[in-house]
């Protein structure tokens, strides 16, 4: 079989045709005191994503080997005493690569990666290690089996970047009950990370967004010699007595950002916060962190990831304009979207949830998957790059493709049905969680079974609804075609 994914991933690393949007929210500005990290994974509409459950192992059976994006030969030793974890991998990686996001049994969550681009000056001095450096395909599956805290995850990934290099530019978010850390690459061997303020939110869209780095501060981490390297090579950095401007030294702002990246960040910041005076094409003026006008819920973050500039002239779907210059947050080629929620006061098994929407967010439904799930519904483990009638991915994708045939007529039908489903599921979650709390200390096996039964039921109901909607849209489309080509005579 053709190595479809090797070729397509190599392309996406070199141009901005493939891209993601990330939202991170501190627990002091969420409605329920939870930490939230979320991202749309945008690449190929025909690339099925699969949900993977990796059990704990005394020792992993084999070393990690990159699947070969860009001809990459990155390897990493097998983990000893590997933790249980989940991942959302591409169909042709057997669950061992391109993990995208997940939680482990120590309570650490990761979303990897937000593609970013470092500036030409620094890359001329310290280029990406494209042949053997770590790339986005490796991060979840290398880091999650090993780390017991978000900070430990940052340190391990940073160590790999410094010693083996990075194959590309990226941003990665790590989460545990203590908070959220965000790491960005600076060059082939340099990086920095910051702990997201608990009273703020952060947005990224395919561009380095971290600015200030403060050495020897508990909320910052970085590669050895990060500042000295910039000084030695006269990188365009700005310093004062308190901080070093990482963005100016290591990231880039180019003309392409004004339509591809800036509008997404600007839109989310103006959606969540009042009183901003920023201009949409002036990305360097965007604040790094902001306080929302209202505390944010998981649903608010989902709506952000579904945004396509609706009710504006730049909505490409309602105006049937695929060539609009502004790249929307919700695009058809989204492979999957995830919102990871961590509620520190609850047991890990139900306190940590991945909400996953397969395919285009504006036409998909977010389904909750609890960290305590040990039995994955079969439909989530199927699918490849050809349409089928069995995988969850393709059931959602078929409906989305139909809806795109007449956005203004069909999208409201799908969106309303999925909105109602999400509300009903949220109510069921509360009931299940209360039952779990009553069971987990005295009857732990029954508590696990409760979570598994809930997951299988929710997935089955979502797929049944999706099939019903698909048939409804087919019926309407058939009527439309019949009217257009009726040839009914006199």
* DSSP tag of 239: B
CA 236, CA 349: separation in Å to the nearest integer?
Answer: 46
Orientation of helix 392-403 relative to helix 407-439, angle to 10° = 150
Could you list the pLDDT tens digit for every one of the 490 residues in the chain? Answer: 333 333 333 333 334 445 799 999 999 999 999 999 999 999 999 999 999 999 999 999 899 999 865 558 999 999 999 999 999 999 989 889 999 999 999 999 999 989 999 999 999 999 999 999 999 999 999 999 999 999 999 999 999 999 999 999 999 999 999 999 999 999 999 999 999 999 999 999 999 999 999 999 999 999 999 999 999 999 988 666 678 999 999 999 999 999 999 999 999 999 999 999 999 999 999 999 999 999 999 999 999 999 999 999 999 999 999 999 999 999 999 999 999 999 999 999 999 999 999 999 999 999 999 999 999 999 999 999 999 999 999 999 999 999 999 999 999 999 999 999 999 999 999 999 999 999 999 999 999 999 999 999 999 999 999 999 999 999 999 999 999 999 987 6
> Which domains does the chain carry?
4-389 (3.60.60.10)
pTM score, whole prediction = 0.95
Residues across the chain = 490
CA 188, CA 118: separation in Å to the nearest integer?
Answer: 9
CA 32, CA 297: separation in Å to the nearest integer?
Answer: 8
Strands 85-90 and 49-54: antiparallel
DSSP states of 167-191? SS-EEEEEEETTEEEEEEE-SSS-E
Give the active site residue among 12, 20, 79, 360.
20
Catalytic residue at 20? yes
């Amino acid at each position: 079989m053709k190595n479809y994914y090797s070729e397509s991933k190599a392309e996406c690393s070199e141009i901005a045709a493939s891209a993601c949007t990330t939202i991170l929210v501190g627990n002091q500005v969420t409605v329920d005191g939870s930490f939230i990290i979320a991202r749309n994974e945008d690449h190929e509409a025909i690339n099925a994503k699969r949900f993977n459950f990796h059990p704990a192992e005394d020792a992993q059976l084999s070393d990690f080997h990159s699947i070969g994006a860009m001809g990459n030969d990155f390897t990493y030793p097998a983990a000893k005493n590997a933790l249980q974890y989940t991942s959302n991998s591409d169909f042709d990686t057997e669950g061992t690569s391109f993990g995208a996001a997940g939680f482990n049994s120590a309570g650490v969550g990761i979303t990897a990666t937000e593609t970013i681009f470092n500036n030409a000056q620094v890359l001329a001095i310290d280029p990406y290690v494209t042949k053997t450096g770590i790339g986005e395909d490796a991060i979840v599956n290398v880091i999650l089996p090993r780390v017991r805290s978000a900070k430990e995850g940052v340190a391990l990934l940073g160590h790999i970047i410094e010693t083996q290099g990075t194959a590309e530019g990226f941003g990665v978010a790590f989460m545990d009950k203590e908070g959220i850390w965000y790491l960005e690459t600076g060059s082939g061997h340099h990086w920095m990370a910051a702990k997201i303020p608990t009273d703020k939110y952060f947005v990224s869209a395919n561009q380095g967004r971290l600015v200030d780095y403060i050495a020897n501060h508990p909320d910052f981490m970085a590669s050895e010699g990060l500042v000295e390297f910039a000084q030695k090579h006269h990188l365009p950095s700005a310093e004062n007595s308190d901080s070093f401007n990482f963005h100016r030294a290591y990231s880039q702002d180019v003309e392409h950002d004004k339509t591809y990246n800036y509008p997404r960040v600007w839109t989310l910041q103006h959606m969540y916060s009042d009183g901003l005076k920023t201009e949409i094409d002036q990305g360097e003026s965007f604040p790094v962190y902001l306080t929302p006008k209202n505390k944010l819920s998981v649903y608010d973050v989902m709506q952000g990831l579904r945004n396509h500039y609706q009710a504006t002239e730049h909505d490409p779907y309602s105006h049937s304009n695929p060539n609009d210059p502004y790249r929307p947050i919700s695009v058809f080629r989204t492979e999957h979207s995830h919102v990871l929620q961590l509620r520190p006061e609850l047991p890990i098994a139900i306190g940590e949830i991945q909400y996953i929407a397969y395919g285009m967010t504006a036409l998909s439904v977010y389904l909750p998957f609890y960290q305590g799930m040990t039995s994955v519904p079969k439909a989530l483990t199927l699918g490849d790059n050809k349409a089928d009638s069995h995988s969850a991915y393709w059931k959602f994708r078929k409906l989305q493709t139909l809806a795109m045939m007449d956005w203004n007529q069909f999208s409201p039908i799908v969106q309303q049905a999925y909105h109602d489903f999400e509300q009903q599921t949220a109510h069921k979650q509360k009931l299940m969680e209360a039952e779990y709390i009553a069971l987990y200390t005295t009857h732990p096996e029954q508590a696990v079974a409760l979570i598994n039964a809930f997951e299988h039921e929710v997935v089955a109901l979502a797929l049944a609804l999706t099939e019903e909607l698909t048939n409804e849209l087919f019926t309407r489309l058939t009527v439309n075609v019949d009217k257009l080509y009726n040839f009914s005579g006199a």
